[in-house]
Structures are given as C-alpha cells and as structure tokens.
A and B are shown apart, each in its own frame.
Chain A
Amino acid sequence: MTTATTTGLPRLLPRDGGRPEDWRLHMARFGPIPYRGSTGRLIDDVREAGLTGRGGAAFPAHRKLAAVAEAAANQRVRPVVIANGAEGEPASDKDATLLWLAPHLVLDGLQLAAEAAGADRAILYTHEDRRDDVGRRLRAELRQRRDDRVDVVLATAPPRFLAGQETALVNHLGGGPAVPRFPLPRVTERGLDGVPTLVQNAETLAHMALIARYGPRWFRQLGTGAEPGSLLTTVRRGGDGRPRIVEVPFGVPLMSLLGDLEDAGAVLVGGYHGTWLPTAQAMRLRLDNESLRSAGAAVGAGILAALPGDRCGLAETARVVRYLALESAGQCGPCLNGLPRMSAALTALATGRAAGRAAASARADLERWAGLVTGRGACHHPDGTARFVRSALRTFAGELDRHERGRCGAANRAPYLPVPSLTARTEEDWL
C-alpha cells in the first residue's frame, strides 16, 4: 500500500508484494548485521529513534534493553534475549506474517539485542500453528545465517491467548505452563532461569535491526513525534473477514486504512483487549495512541476490524468474551469468577434470552462486573476484557435496546471475528 504519506514503505515487509525473503534476498537488500562492538551504543540509538514495543503495550524499547543490561551487570550474569512471536491474539496475524516473509530482520534484531544486553542466549518463541511449516522454514533459514554470534533456540508457544504475556512466556520456557505470574520481580531483573531476561516483540526487534543500519534520524522520517516509525497492522473489512497485513506510519488516518465505511456497524481498534468505536467516531481518528486515547482506545498490536453492517456487534462481542473467559488462566479470583459471569450475561443479551427487565439488570451487572475485575489480576487479562465489554455496551447501546425488546438488527448470523474453537481443559493444554 503506497500513498503520498507512506513513502519509504514497506520497511519491514518485502517490497515486491509478499515474496518471502530467504537469507540470500535478505543479504542483498539489507547486507550483514551491523554489530556495534559494545553494549551501550545501540541502546542510545534505539532511545533516540523513540522505538516503542509493538506487542501492544507500546513500552519504550530502549528502557527494557537498558534495564536488562544494567541488571545483568549488577548481578554479574549473562542475560537472555527472547523474540516474542507468540501472537496469542487470534485477531492479529502480523508477527506470523513478518516471521514468514522477513524472518531475517527479526533474527538480526535478536542478535543485535543480544549484543546490546550482553546476552549469551537467544530464543525465538513462535506459535507454529499459524503457518504450515513455519518451524521447519525458520530452522532452515537459521542454518543459512553466517554472522550470528549467539545461537538461537526455537521454542513453540501453546495456542493460548495469554501465551505471549511476558511472565507466561518465561514460565513456559522454564518448563512450566504458559500462565502469567505476579509481575514482580520484573523479568528484566529475574526472568528465565532466574537471570535478567529481555522479551521483545518480533516486530520490535525487526525495527531495531533497521535502526542499527540506517540510524534514528532515518527511523523518525515516518510516524509522529511521540511515536516514530511504522507499524504492522492486521486489518479486517468486508464480507469474509480475511485479514490484510499492512505496514503504515503511526498517525495514519483510520479512514485511509479502512476505506469508505458507510455500511460498517462499528470498528474494533486494538483487538480483543481493545475498544469498539462507532464508525463515525473512528473515521475522525488517526492510528496513534495520542489520537486514539481521546476516544478511550489504544493502538495495541495494530489490530483493526470494521464490522460489516449486516452483523450483530453483540453476538460478536459475546462470542469473543466467551473465548476470553475460557482463556483465563483461572489463577486470580476476579478473573476466574468475573469473566464467565460477564460471558453468560452477554450471551443472554445477544441471544435475546434476557429481555425486558432481565436485560436491563444484565446490562447493569456487566458494568458493575467490568468495574470489579479491572486492575485486580496478576496480568491485564481482566482489565482488557472489561475494556472490550464496556466499549461494546457503549457502542452497541442501540443494538442492546433492540435486543431488550426481542429484536436483532443483524441479517447475517455468520461469525465475523476469528475465535479459536480449541479451549484449554487440562494442564497439558497450557504446556
């Protein structure tokens, strides 16, 4: 996708429309890894570039790097760096796409991050089910690489929504279930095997590989002052809901990504921990956190979905919340008890089982439960789910009123947003 505002794009993805870049093509396009020879310099460049984490939290990348390097120096141990391509979010496909089309940028970034942090171990954590044979391909490409200084181990994430959550990832690589733990001590202090651990999203590392080559000033040529650079987005619009992966600069108008959406019912921004917005409101916003914050939304991992006008937003929300409730690790009371109740209430509203006064009380219950679970989990799963539910109550208020009177405006009952059917039943499903 090339418009006047997007010169120089794509930066990460292959230029000739989706041909996977093997080692030879990658070397021809980018050349060898520009190692820095010491730990500090790349961190300074990453800070000047203003690179933020692309996994969803938008945390400044240089601060994590510096924290790990410093903790390792203090503890006199070698840290671990991990490229996180778990992408547990079913609505996102950008990390899988990046690892399929441009794996060597991620691997270059992993080597550079290892050098910057002083690490002697590197792990690439992926969700193998996303692409047939991605594991075999990555292994083959890893063998091609000549200038790696740290051996890269491939690890597979279980197909769980929370598998990519930082502490869950560390738990899983340590041999345990991929369930989150209490955030303290930070994994940057004590992570895998008790050593400082750098967990960076795969896309973040790919950007780092480019910053190391072309410098912070080049990086800032795209994007906004607060959020420079480009990002990969997963965009869904139109009937079949098939996602497109598009690399855009921060600050691009949502309208230019989603196109003319007169018929759309609503827009989901930021995925299943994100926010439903009315189409008219979404069309006035730009894809950066400053603009989206004004609407109570966030970029997250760059997921955008325009719900077609013939679908029921409530039914979609109920399906997704049921999935999110089933993906709770079941460790924290508010999440374990709250999410299934929210799921049941939403299902009752969506199917019309709760009508009249029962519907009114279900709506009040949902608001109350959303407030009760927020901020009360070890991870942000309850918070994100509550945000999603609350935005649905706001955005689909008219639809809720119709459902209360026993009607639904949707002509098309087919599911739109992707929801995996396999849910965890035993401990093994988390391993």
Chain B
Amino acid sequence: MSGINSSTALWYVSRATGAVALLLMTAVLLLGLLVSRQGKLPGLPRFAVTGLHRNLSLLSVVFVALHVLTAVTDGYVTIPLISAVLPLASPYERLSLSLGAISLDLTLALIVTSLLRGRLGRRTWKAVHWLAYLTWPVAWLHGFSAATDLRQGWLFAFAIGDLLLVIAAVGWRVAAAAREVPRAERVGVLMAAVHQRGRGR
C-alpha cells in the first residue's frame, strides 16, 4: 500500500467507508438499546432518540453500500458483486467477506421489516429486530478479520473501543431489564411505597 493514487483510490474509499459504517452501526446499536429501555439523551425528547436511531441506521446503509460498491468495482482484487449478499461467494478473503455478506443480509432484514412495520404487526417486527444483536458482532468480526487496518494503530483502538462500548451497553440493558418490576407487580409495589411514605409523615 503506497499512498492514494488513481488506481488505489477506490480501495481507500472502501476501507474508509467500511470503518465509518462500523462507527455508525455502533451508534445505531447504542441508540437502539436506549430506545428499548425508553431512555433519554440529555437535551433531546424521547421521540428524537428514536428518530436519530432510525436516521443513523439509514445513513449507515448508505455507507455500507458505498463500501461494498467500491470494493467490488476496484480491480486490485476480484470480488464478485454477488458476494455482497451471498456468503462463500468470494475467492478473496472467503471467510471474512462471508461475515460481511451475512451482516449485510441481516441489516437488510432489519431495514425492510422496519419500513413495513405498520403492516407486519409489532410481534413479527420485534422478533426480527432482535437480530440486531447478531448483526453488529458479525459486522465487527468482518471488519476485524478482513482489514489489517483495524488491527493496528489508532484504528485498533477504535475497534476495541467500539467493542467494549457495545459490551457495556448490552450489559446495562440486561441489568435494566432485570431490574424492571413486572407489570402485574407494579401497582402493589407502588401502593406499598406510597402508603409507607404517607405513614412516615
């Protein structure tokens, strides 16, 4: 790799858009976790968090599309277009690109079901949306295994940072869900608390 010129430009664009797509997907996942716990961001109303989650996910798809198209168009290595969605279709980096294809397929499933959410019913949509927890790790592995970029220098710190952030956020979500009082017990818990305080006064 010796600097950017007309023959390497596409290759650089592909690597850069891939890294940006990973960054965006991380943000989308974190926002999704927040939305699922009905959390808020400072200074933003709740619906804006949902809107940000939705818009960033569409933006990440744009970057993934650029990432795939530039990789396929670049002539330095041969990557058939079909390998973008079909695992094991690329002779180059067969395993890594398969992970990328799986991740892209999952992403498409998430996007399509979300666009059709009104027609699908909440239960179906939600069942598919759980795949987000699979999509991100597969995308991360794709990046980490395919690109030497992510394994050195500040991009290595970026990749590991992303990973730790996601692990922490998922841990927070699991803990928050476990702390939640089941619907049937909410009233009783609140009644006890309110009456107790009333007595103390």
Contacts and interface: CB of A to CB of B under 8 A. Distances in A.
Contacts, number: 64
B198 A337 contact: no
A325 B190 CA distance: 10
Given A347-B195, A347-B198, A427 B184 contact: yes
Contact of A424 (B187, B197, B199): B187
A326 B187 contact: yes
B184 A177 contact: yes
Interface string A387-431: 000000000000000000000000000000000000111111110
B191 interface: yes
B182 interface: yes
Interface in A289-337: 322, 325-331, 336-337
Interface stretch (A163-171, A338-346, A372-380): A338-346
B184 A330 contact: yes
B186 A336 contact: yes
A9 B63 CA distance: 78
B119 interface: no
Interface string B5-34: 000000000000000000000000000000
Contacts of A343: 191, 194-195
Interface in B155-201: 182-188, 190-191, 193-195, 197-199, 201
Given A330-B187, A336-B190, A340-B191, A427 B199 contact: no
Interface residues of B, number: 16
A285 interface: no
Contacts of A154: none
Given A424-B187, A425-B188, A344 B182 contact: no
A353 interface: yes
A326 B195 contact: no
A331 B185 CA distance: 11
6 contacts: A330-B185, A337-B190, A341-B194, A423-B188, A424-B188, A425-B185
Nearest to A177: B184
A425 B190 CA distance: 12
A348 interface: yes
A32 B6 CA distance: 93
B191 A427 contact: no
Given A353-B199, A358-B201, A330 B186 contact: yes
A293 B19 CA distance: 68
Given A336-B190, A337-B190, A344 B195 contact: yes
A323 to B, nearest CB: 11
Given A328-B187, A330-B183, A348-B198, 17 more contacts: A177-B184, A322-B191, A326-B191, A327-B187, A329-B183, A330-B185, A336-B186, A340-B190, A340-B193, A341-B194, A343-B194, A345-B198, A353-B201, A424-B187, A425-B188, A427-B182, A427-B183
A326 B187 CA distance: 6
